[in-house]
Structure 1
Amino acid sequence: MHKMCTIHIMSSSPPESATPQIKYGLLVVTLASAGITVSLAQTLVIPIIGRLPEIFNTTAANASWIITVTLLVGAVATPVMGRLADMYGKKKMMLISLVPFILGSVICAVSVDLIPMIIGRGFQGLGSGLIPLGISLMHDLLPREKAGSAIALMSSSMGIGGALGLPLAAAIAQFASWRVLFWFTALVALTVGAVIWKAIPARPRIVRSGGFDYFGALGLAMGLIALLLAVSKGSEWGWRSALTIGLFVAALVILVGWGWFETRQKSPLIDLRTTIRATVLMTNIASILIGFTMYGMNLILPQVMQLPVILGYGLGQSMLQMGIWLIPMGLGMMLISNAGAAISAAHGPRVTLTIAGVVIAVGYALTATVLFTIGNRTPGGDADNALILTTLVLFSVCSLVVGIGIGLAFGSMPALIMGAVPATEKAAANGFNSLMRSLGTTGSSAVIGAVLAGMMSGGVPTLGGFMTTLIIGCCAALVAAVISYFIPTTTTVVEAK
């Protein structure tokens, strides 16, 4: 049972009875657009990643910080923004998050040196908390019958932006200046911010007594940075290097100390007593695995599609062609939101999350089957061209299946979290759940990268390497399904009245 705490309702916003006046369609479109824009920023540099050392006259290792810094800042900012939203209001914190995101986009667009580019990407990372904040705001403002599908769409926006943004970014990078990518996100974010400010009402703030936990935020930041640096840079620095091992040890010591400190605070950054509830804990573990599978498919299929045809298992596609073939993954996430909400309403989000794990596993298994079937072909001739086209279509279907599974999962996870925590913890708990997904994507990059790097021939990953990573992804999805199946279906939550 969650401990009772003193709460206050603070607001100058319209009363509860005013909420029916909200234009629900505008709210959903605006918040989902905010989430897609933020996730789009994660994939912006993928089409130009190989050119970054040349663009900024630096080494590949230094240029990789353009990607890494966004991940690090986003991981730290997400739970912090969640806690601040519970204290000061979700709408206010969404608007505040958009300011550095827009500023960062502009800095990146005009950067001619590496350091300003890294700074700009760091500012973009501060906008990562928009997705969990949007989920919590939808939960507050939408009627129950509309909230399920809207939250599913908002939750999936992280994957949708990546899947749909890749071909868009590739097309812009191929036919225009890469700087247009950042001007585009700045413009969209500015528009979204204006609509949020004018059209979306604030709700009464229900906050626990006590101030902001600055030491808790600092400790979490230090621990996460050490952990994510070790995971994301381990293959580059060497998994057995003193630096990598030292960072892992430092992360363990700091995070354990942080956990001890948080359990003794009256108003902690993250209430760990809430996070260890069976429902919340098991959902977060499943979220790590789901994040792993989502990013895993984004790492595997693009490489297979772009490898030379002469290898036998490569499909010889350009970046733009590859992005177009993978659009169904993002479409699957969008189109399944209503169906996922209906399943959760009828059978509970636990069932939806369980089904999601099974669907993702099926998608991985189908991908492995298709890849194995074409893996030993002899390239050449019209028959081979027809086989390549057929394979691309089948891979698109596989990505659609995985996208449907991801969409089901991303819609059900927030429902499980918000159904198991008090009103004073909803934004913070969603932020922590989003952090768990990010840990999954980071772990996916490290694991899959290590497997492919260890199974290479002639400087490219082997067919066996890709098959191994697909099997790992399939197993991760199945484990997520099993964990989800055993999530408790009833929780006792002390809600503020």
Structure 2
Amino acid sequence: MSSAVRTEDLRPGVLLLPGLCFVVMTVAVLQTMVIPIVGTIGMQLEVSPTAAGWVITANLLAAVVATPVIGRLADLHGKRPVLIGVLLLVLAGSLVAASTHSLALLIFGRVLQGVSYALFPIALAILRDEMPHRKLVGSMAILSGTLGVGGGFGLVLTGLLTADGADYHRVFWLTSVFVLVALVIAWFAVPARARSGLGSVDWWGAVLLAIALVLLFLALTQGREWGWGSVTTLACSIIGAITLALWWIFENKTPAPLVAPRLLTHGPLLATNIATLFVGIGMFVNFLASSYFVQTPRELAGYGFSATVLGASVVYLLPGAVVGVIAATCSGAFIRRFGARPVLITSGGIGVFGFVFFVFFHTATWQVVAATSIVSVFVSLAFAAIPNLLMAEVSASDTGVANSVNSIVRTVGTSIASALLTTMLATYTIAGTSIPRETVYTFAFVAGAIACTIVALAATAIRVQPSIPVTVTEVARDSGVAQVRGNP
């Protein structure tokens, strides 16, 4: 945004917010729909579980590589053309995945789908450009809350489509429909704007960051299969960490870095990203642990509900998704009334209560539904508060890349939760079976409560200025921190 442009003068179209919400819902659905069917993919393609697991790993690797670069391209060349271009790539990937019977092509399709992670930060940046200030807080809250609950809906849809071992291709055909509808909506709902960004993409920084993140994510996602102490895992971890350090040194010496260092070290932004990391952990613990828990055969394990994938999705996960939608809708009013920081702190407390409730009460269906619903409220409120805290600290010209970094941090959180949980589920089993011990789930829910506690503590470290009407002003490129002044 240029100097002295008053956001109050903007007149967004009626389709803008619902259209972007659908785009973000599509992102969330793409992220979670494949998780429950990895085993089904392996069986139907007649490949090993390890090979089938690459449909998730490849997707995550593409996401962490592409997201910061795409965010920077959106800041430089305009949000709408980049948004449309990303949706076209994701549509192509969905069609490839839906139509192929080759694992290699399926993985290629998932790589193309991985760029969808960049859609959420771009959508937030569009809202910042297009929404008047009085509507921005509520709009960002609703959009962000949609991301939190969309993952739950993705799991539910998977359960409906793949009940009784149905063809997994159904899932990718549905994602193709989602992306096509999102593309049409974005084409008509998002207005075209003249290019306003200056500079270029720091491609050398992008390459170094990509290498570092790929190696670190390979260690995180494949460590259980390779062995956490194996030479391959340790090599990926060490080389990735060294490359990340080199990237940091390079970025500090580059006049126009891909990610301004202050976007990572500025106190409020650092605290916000820490909170995001643990929100991602809490969200995935809720999704995965509760889904696996209710599918555990009670007659063999002495716990669980012997639910099918369909039953787990509809009976146990759908209510939480619905509650999350309601919380997301209300979150904007809460943030306007109390501020984003108190809402984030409160959400952490709600999450702690939900997970602790799960630890002590999980023998009846209503107890599991109540616990997952409470945690869904935490996720929706946290996702609503975080972008508001983030955008209070960065310039409009850095919105895309700052939100992209935040999205990567969230992805790291979900990957950590997934890696640790799957490792523990496979390691600590009931003697003579492959069924996890009940204590594994207890530990997972305790870990979720700890994650929520850290979210609340990180939020207390964030210091925000009192909310006043603002005019966006020009920002020095090397600061990375927004400058605003009160309206006269």
Does TM, scored on the shorter chain, surpass 0.5? yes
Structure 1 window deviating more from structure 2 (174-183 vs 213-222): it is 174-183
Task: State yes or no: 1:96 paired with 2:85.
Answer: yes
CA distance in 1 between partners of 2:150 and 2:436 (Å): 27
User: Which of residues 170, 176, 181 in structure 2 aligns to 1:180?
Assistant: 170
Cα deviation, residue 44, structure 1: 2.4
Aligned residue number for residue 324 of structure 2: 333
Aligned residue number for residue 421 of structure 2: 448
Output one character per residue of 1:350-393: Cα deviation in whole Å (capped at 9) or x when no partner: 1111111111111101111113xx3xxxxxxxxxxxxxxxx112
Aligned residue number for residue 33 of structure 1: 22
Cα deviation, residue 19, structure 1: 3.6
Task: State yes or no: 1:432 paired with 2:421.
Answer: no
SS at match of 1:161: helix
Q: Which amino acid aligns with 1:155?
A: S
Aligned residue number for residue 154 of structure 1: 143
User: Which of residues 348, 361, 385 in structure 2 aligns to 1:412?
Assistant: 385
Aligned residue number for residue 251 of structure 1: 240
Matches within 5 A, 1:374-385: 374=363
CA distance in 1 between partners of 2:415 and 2:202 (Å): 26
Q: Which amino acid aligns with 1:268?
A: P
RMSD: 2.2
CA distance in 1 between partners of 2:8 and 2:434 (Å): 64
Does structure 2 retain, via aligned residues, the 8 Å contact 1:90–1:136?
A: yes
CA distance in 2 between partners of 1:345 and 1:434 (Å): 24
CA distance in 1 between partners of 2:8 and 2:331 (Å): 29
Output one character per residue of 1:78-105: Cα deviation in whole Å (capped at 9) or x when no partner: 2211111110111111111101100000
CA distance in 2 between partners of 1:214 and 1:178 (Å): 38
Aligned residue number for residue 346 of structure 1: 337
CA distance in 2 between partners of 1:282 and 1:206 (Å): 29
Task: State yes or no: 1:490 paired with 2:485.
Answer: no
Task: State yes or no: 1:475 paired with 2:450.
Answer: yes
CA distance in 1 between partners of 2:93 and 2:151 (Å): 19
Output one character per residue of 1:49-69: Cα deviation in whole Å (capped at 9) or x when no partner: 222222222211111101111
Does structure 2 retain, via aligned residues, the 8 Å contact 1:95–1:196?
A: yes
Cα deviation, residue 8, structure 1: 7.2
Do the aligned partners of residues 180 and 98 (structure 1) sit closer, same or farther apart at CA in structure 2, a change above 3 Å counting? same
Does structure 1 retain, via aligned residues, the 8 Å contact 2:205–2:258?
A: yes
CA distance in 1 between partners of 2:399 and 2:101 (Å): 41
Cα deviation, residue 15, structure 1: 11
Matches within 5 A, 1:359-370: 359-370=350-361
CA distance in 2 between partners of 1:305 and 1:17 (Å): 49
Does structure 1 retain, via aligned residues, the 8 Å contact 2:289–2:441?
A: yes
Give structure 2 stretches of 5+ with no counterpart: 467-480
Give structure 1 stretches of 5+ with no counterpart: 1-6, 375-390
Q: Which amino acid aligns with 1:467?
A: T
Does structure 1 retain, via aligned residues, the 8 Å contact 2:74–2:400?
A: yes
Matches within 5 A, 1:38-437: 38-174=27-163, 177-207=167-197, 209-310=198-299, 311-324=301-314, 325-371=316-362, 374=363, 391-437=364-410
Q: Which amino acid aligns with 1:484?
A: A
SS at match of 1:343: helix
Cα deviation, residue 449, structure 1: 2.3
CA distance in 2 between partners of 1:266 and 1:254 (Å): 20
Q: Which amino acid aligns with 1:460?
A: I
CA distance in 2 between partners of 1:18 and 1:108 (Å): 44
Structure 1 window deviating more from structure 2 (450-459 vs 468-477): it is 450-459
Structure 1 window deviating more from structure 2 (168-177 vs 184-193): it is 168-177
Does structure 2 retain, via aligned residues, the 8 Å contact 1:102–1:189?
A: yes
Does structure 1 retain, via aligned residues, the 8 Å contact 2:7–2:132?
A: no
Output one character per residue of 1:96-142: Cα deviation in whole Å (capped at 9) or x when no partner: 11011000000001111110000001100011111111111112212
Q: Which amino acid aligns with 1:404?
A: V
User: Which of residues 425, 431, 434 in structure 2 aligns to 1:459?
Assistant: 434
SS at match of 1:460: coil
CA distance in 2 between partners of 1:40 and 1:397 (Å): 23
Do the aligned partners of residues 338 and 59 (structure 1) sit closer, same or farther apart at CA in structure 2, a change above 3 Å counting? closer
Cα deviation, residue 485, structure 1: 1.2
Do the aligned partners of residues 418 and 182 (structure 1) sit closer, same or farther apart at CA in structure 2, a change above 3 Å counting? same
Cα deviation, residue 479, structure 1: 1.4
Aligned residue number for residue 3 of structure 1: none
TM-score (norm 2): 0.91
CA distance in 1 between partners of 2:189 and 2:458 (Å): 40
CA distance in 2 between partners of 1:439 and 1:304 (Å): 23
SS at match of 2:162: helix
Identity score, percent: 29
Q: Which amino acid aligns with 1:477?
A: C
Aligned residue number for residue 388 of structure 1: none
Q: Which amino acid aligns with 2:361?
A: V
Does structure 1 retain, via aligned residues, the 8 Å contact 2:208–2:243?
A: yes
CA distance in 2 between partners of 1:308 and 1:252 (Å): 41
SS at match of 1:226: helix
